[in-house]
A and B are shown apart, each in its own frame.
Chain A
Amino acid sequence: MPDNDPDFFLARSLKYLQENIRRSGPAAGASYTLIGAIILLGGIGYAVDLVLGQAHWFLLGGLLLGLIVGFYELAKTVFRR
């Protein structure tokens, strides 16, 4: 099929798009995990603060832990061989 054929061009474009989306899968996973870790652990910290009825130390701790876990997952994806 010739390169200047519009149908072939569209098919090739869609194929590249699909390939790029497939390659972005692990990156999407890492990004969602980063946000999820901060929300989950921050939320747990907030709930613990509510139960204990004290200042927001567990919320801060949870957010910090969420950042550590999230960035660790991100690093695992980035430095994956």
Chain B
Amino acid sequence: MLVQEAVQEHAAAAAEGAAEKFNAGKTIIEHVSNSGHDHPLIRLPHVLGIDFSVTKHVLMLWLVAAFVFVVVTWTVRRYLKQDRPLPTGFMNALEAVVEFVRDAIVQPNVGKKWVNTWTPLVLTLFVFILCANGIGLIPVFETIGLLDHFVLHTAEDSFLKHVMHGGTTATANFNVTAALATITFFAIIVAGSRAHGAIKHWVNMVPHGLAWPLYIILIPIEVMGMFVRPFALTMRLAANMTGGHIAILAILSFVFLFTEMAGRAIVGIGVGAVVSVPLAVGISGLEIIVVLVQAYVFALLSAVFIGMAIHVHH
């Protein structure tokens, strides 16, 4: 009944005038992108011309970081306090994840000598991205929004109203994935420098024993390749996380588009029940797989690039 009321309310609003027409593209972008600086959750002053106000994706980053820190620390501390060193409950799952990242992702790429050095970084990236992707699938703010709309009725400038603007998946923001890829970028340099020395790492970037004119071509290509790798990581993760959400919202927007076209809410509800909701449920199921695969691929590629800096072959 709530859905029917909402759709009828929307249809009534749409009938008021052409200016109020449902704009699917705008609505979808508003739901996947970061909240704008006109709707900051916490307004902070400008520093050196940069607005430091806390937006939705910044809040999500904090929440994910706090969640991962608290859950992992609490689980490990509880395990260490046990008399018997046998993992139980959630610690079993955590241990399986740690072993999987170490044995299946890091060790085959960086080798046994460096596995303990680079597992913590790759594991942190994996767990953080997995949680950030996963929390993006849970309709927390949508539920709060419904509660606010039908029960709480808070003021227009309330925190709850502000928190409704913008998407929930922080990893769908290119700035977030760029920051994660920057960590990998510096990890590649540190890995090569630790394995071969600060100068030898840069010398190793190009093959040895070639005619000098070839180096004029190869050195710029290698330097560009160095920046292209983190760029590929950035684009791939953010694009994959955004794409799934856009597909779901585009399918769900059929409800409102068909309501407007027919001028009757029942048509929109029918399209929603027969087409939109089943399709959206199916794509949401795929999104669960995407959440896992994207975290895995980011961790795997980071390990591969770090391994390439350690084991140089030309």
Contact = CB atoms under 8 A, between A and B. Distances in A.
Interface in B204-254: 221, 224-225, 227-229, 231-233, 235-236
Interface residues of A, number: 24
A46 to B, nearest CB: 15
Given A41-B224, A69-B224, A72-B221, A28 B300 contact: yes
A76 B314 CA distance: 7
Given A18-B104, A28-B297, A81-B313, A68 B221 contact: yes
Contact of A32 (B236, B303, B308): B236
Interface string B179-220: 000000000000000000000000000000000000000000
A18 B109 CA distance: 14
B313 A73 contact: no
Contact of B228 (A25, A26, A33): A33
B108 interface: yes
A35 B232 contact: yes
B232 A33 contact: yes
B309 to A, nearest CB: 12
A33 B28 CA distance: 29
A28 B109 CA distance: 13
A50 interface: no
Contact of A39 (B105, B233, B235, B304): B235
- The DSSP consensus for interface residues of chain A is helix
Nearest to B233: A32
Given A25-B300, A25-B303, A81-B313, A32 B232 contact: yes
Given A18-B104, A36-B232, A39-B235, A72 B225 contact: yes
B207 to A, nearest CB: 9
Contacts, number: 64
Interface residues of B, number: 24
A71 B62 CA distance: 39
A29 B305 contact: yes
Contacts of A21: 300
A77 B228 CA distance: 15
Nearest to B107: A22
A69 B221 contact: yes
Contacts of A22: 104-105, 108, 300
Contacts of A37: 224-225, 228, 232
Interface in A62-81: 65, 68-70, 72-73, 76, 80-81
Contacts of B304: 25-26, 28-29
Contacts of A40: 227-228, 231
Nearest to A18: B104
B228 A70 contact: yes
A81 B18 CA distance: 65
Interface string B71-104: 0000000000000000000000000000000001
5 contacts: A28-B301, A36-B231, A37-B225, A69-B221, A73-B225
Interface of B: 104-105, 108-109, 221, 224-225, 227-229, 231-233, 235-236, 297, 300-301, 303-305, 308, 313-314
